[in-house]
Each structure stands twice: as C-alpha cells, then as structure tokens.
A and B are shown apart, each in its own frame.
Chain A
Amino acid sequence: QVQLQESGPGLVKPSETLSLTCTVSGGSIGDYYWTWIRQPPGRGLERIGYISYTGSTNYNPSLKSRVTISLDTSRKQVFLRLTSVTAADTAVYYCARTSVSPPGPPYFDSWGQGTLVTVSS
C-alpha cells in the first residue's frame, strides 16, 4: 500500500520561499500524477497544483506565478516550492497521489498526513 510523507520546515519567514518534499513509499511513482493541496487553519482545501510522472505540470491559476512542483522519480520524491510567502500561506500542506481518468476531473486516492507550515517572522 502506497504511503506518502511530507517533510520540510515548519516555520518560514515572510517573503521567503517555502520548500517541501513528499516521499513516496510502498508503490510506484510512475503511472500517476502527484498533487499538492493545502488547508489554511479553519478553512477548506485548496489545490496548489500537480505534476505528472513525465514532468508536465498544472497549477492553480491564483498561485501559478509563485509555485513550482518538480519530481525525482529515482528517489520517489515530489517537491513543492512556493516563493514570496505571506501569512496567508500558513496552512497544512498535503501531498496526494492523483488518478487521472478523462474526461472526469482527477481524484486524490492516497494522501499524506500533512505538514503544518507557519509563515511568521
């Protein structure tokens, strides 16, 4: 059974860059897409973006200018980079394995437990 584990700094200063890693175990990183999702405190879920196993990406239009998602298939890791962060970027960040079945929207069939990132000086 696939397991996902997010890791990275829990505290980032305003205007700096948030960097997280999702490590995949117990399953292949190929044949799936990989999505980053976040949940600000007391609020709902927001899709950040996804990357395919071939490296193509799709980002939330509202975050597109600040987001980069990348992949290291040999290490089975997915990376998130979010630049110029503000307090509004404080959230629990999740990594999710994504199944794509056109024409329907993708769905997230396995998730990590999430990691809280706080943006504060």
Chain B
Amino acid sequence: QSVLTQPPSVSGAPGQRVTISCTGSSSNIGAGYDVHWYQLLPGTAPKLLIYGNINRPSGVPDRFSGSKSGTSASLAIAGLRAEDEADYYCQSYDSSLRDYVFGPGTKVTAL
C-alpha cells in the first residue's frame, strides 16, 4: 500500500482536460519533496512526463502540465487524445520510509 494516493481511473472525451491527483502527507509531498510523473503504455518503455513538479523534458507535448500545492500534486492533460490512454504514476520521497515512493497509478481512458 503506497503512501501516495492516486485515483484508480480517470476518463474524459477526446479534447477534454483531465487531471490526475497525487495526494501525500507531511512526510513526503507536504515536506517539500519534488514530485515526478511517468506514463506507462503496454509494451513500451515508460516515459518521464514531468520532473520537479512542473518541468517537462524535451519532447513531451505541452498538453501535459504538472502542479503542486501543500500535500498534493496534479498532472493535467489538456486536449485528451486516444494516444494518451495509459497508466500514469507519480513519484516522490518519503522521509518516514527513507525511500523513494511511487503512487499506485491511474489509468486514463479516452471515451
């Protein structure tokens, strides 16, 4: 059971904006540790989408954006596309566990 919480699934119509939350506590996100986001598509190498809460690596479309406030972080996908259907994971550090932790993942579906 992860110390970071994500909704199991999120869906939206193509073109819509969807948001995935990553909720933690005072020992991880709330302690100021950065949050990173990854996209996992079956059969392909996982992809870094956001690092350091808000930064996009080169090559990641600007439809993907990250934010962080208090004990939570969010990944937003603007203009949802069928190709965005994937599992998305947040990642941070937990000072109580003294380890790097992932959220449980959120499956995004384009309706």
Residues of A at under 8 Å CB distance from B? 4, 44-47, 60-61, 94, 96, 99, 101, 104-114
Chain B residues 1-51 with CB under 8 Å of chain A are 2, 33-34, 36, 38, 43-48, 51
CB distance from B5 to the nearest CB of A (A): 12
16 intermolecular pairs with C-beta atoms under 8 Å apart: A45-B89, A45-B91, A45-B105, A47-B102, A60-B99, A61-B97, A94-B46, A96-B46, A101-B52, A105-B93, A107-B51, A108-B36, A108-B46, A108-B91, A109-B51, A111-B46
Residues of B at under 8 Å CB distance from A? 2, 33-34, 36, 38, 43-48, 51-52, 57, 89, 91-93, 97-105
With CB as the reference atom, state the residue of chain A lying closest to B38. A108
C-alpha spacing A105/B36, complex, angstroms: 9
- Count chain A CB atoms within 10 A of each CB in B99, B102, B104 and give the residue with the most: B99
Residues of A with C-beta under 8 A to B98: 61
15 new A-B pairs (CB below 8 Å) besides A61-B97, A104-B33? Answer: A44-B2, A45-B89, A45-B102, A61-B98, A61-B99, A99-B51, A104-B34, A105-B36, A107-B34, A107-B48, A108-B91, A109-B48, A109-B51, A111-B45, A113-B45
C-alpha spacing A98/B55, complex, angstroms: 16
CB distance from A116 to the nearest CB of B (A): 11
